[in-house]
Amino acid sequence: MMIKTGVPPIKSQGIKTKLVPWIKSIIPDDFHGTWIEPFMGTGAVAFNVAPRRAVLCDTNPHLVNFYAGIASGEITPEVVKEYLEREGKILLSKGEEHYYFVRDRFNSEHSPLDFLFVNRAGFNGMIRFNRKGGFNIPFCRKPQRFAQSYITKITNQVRWARILIQTKELTFKCQDFKKTIEEASSTDIIYCDPPYIDRYVDYYNGWGDADELNLYNKLSSFKGKFILSTWHHNDYRENVYIKTLWSRHSILTREHFYHVGGKKENRNPVIEALVTNFHAISTEHRHESQNQYLLLEPQVTYC
């Protein structure tokens, strides 16, 4: 049976919604521990995996505050609906001036509702912060952005996240990945989706060689299971860390398209990788063929 992938209320260029079935398909059947995400992002993976218990962390406080606001009951579908109807009306009459007004307000007051507004009315649903931590995505140029159907869609996404947060044991924390991995225990699964090395960077997504090495060391010495999302190669180049670091573990790959503007090379298909410290076999039923590279024993199998 095909299970539909849920979409969270927050969007971002690195969202893994399309890869969720693949990620879910390699989670071992006997997993009963805590699902740990040191790089939660929009929460798309955790909410779809829907484990009994999860610890979801990120260094971007705005992502964490938004879901913590849902957990505390401060943010409900009704609150979101009322807020978006009010702000949407002003956006319709004032246009981009109001988008930038809310963006400035968010950058000084950090309200989670304003974060939702700029995230959903900003260009391409992107999240990007300047060096001072200010959100700097321009307006999507659609004053009619918050039409009733769009508000209903977002409200339903908040309702979906809220039900999960209320029925599961989910903990949200704003902290660095090193601390999150250190706090995990051997019965847990750590799913890591760090900023992709050598690709997109901003204030909360600065990621360099030292970070990748740190992550490698932390994950390699972790006693439980881990799953890491990273990029393998694209038409222009390869992720050198696959060969220099991650090849000691198992690697599954598949093609994925990111629709991010900006650099031309970022609009091309990317071969995504899932690196694991256990022998993962994808049970996902797919029409396309899927390559599975086991880099230690150079062989290619199709499943």
- Chain residues binding ligand SAM by CB under 6 A are 12, 14-16, 38-39, 41-42, 44-45, 58-60, 63, 176-177, 193-195, 204-205
Query: What is the sign of the dihedral through the CA atoms of 180, 185, 186 and 189?
Result: negative
- Nearer of residues 23 and 84 to ligand SAM, judged by Cβ: 23
Q: Which backbone phi and psi does 242 adopt, to 5 degrees?
A: -65, -50
Nearer to ligand SAM, 48 or 91 (CB): 48
| Residue 193 beta carbon to ligand SAM: minimum distance, rounded to whole angstroms | 4
Amino acid occupying residue 254: R
16: nearest Cα among 276, 295, 273: 273
Q: In the complex, what is the shortest distance from the CB of residue 210 to ligand SAM, in angstroms, rounded to a whole number?
A: 11
Nearest to 212 by CA among 201, 203, 186, 223: 201
CB of 2 to ligand SAM, least distance (A): 20
Residue whose CB is less far from ligand SAM, 135 or 177: 177
Phi first, then psi, for residue 103 (nearest 5°) are -60, -45
Mark residue 85 as left, alpha or beta (left: phi above 0; alpha: psi -120 to 50; beta: remaining).
alpha
**Minimum gap (Å) between residue 93 Cβ and ligand SAM:** 33
Closest CB 202 distance from ligand SAM, rounded Å: 9
Q: Which is nearer to ligand SAM, 101 or 168 (CB)?
A: 168
User: Which residue type occupies 79?
Assistant: V
Please identify, using beta-carbon distances, which residue of 44 and 113 lies nearer to ligand SAM: 44
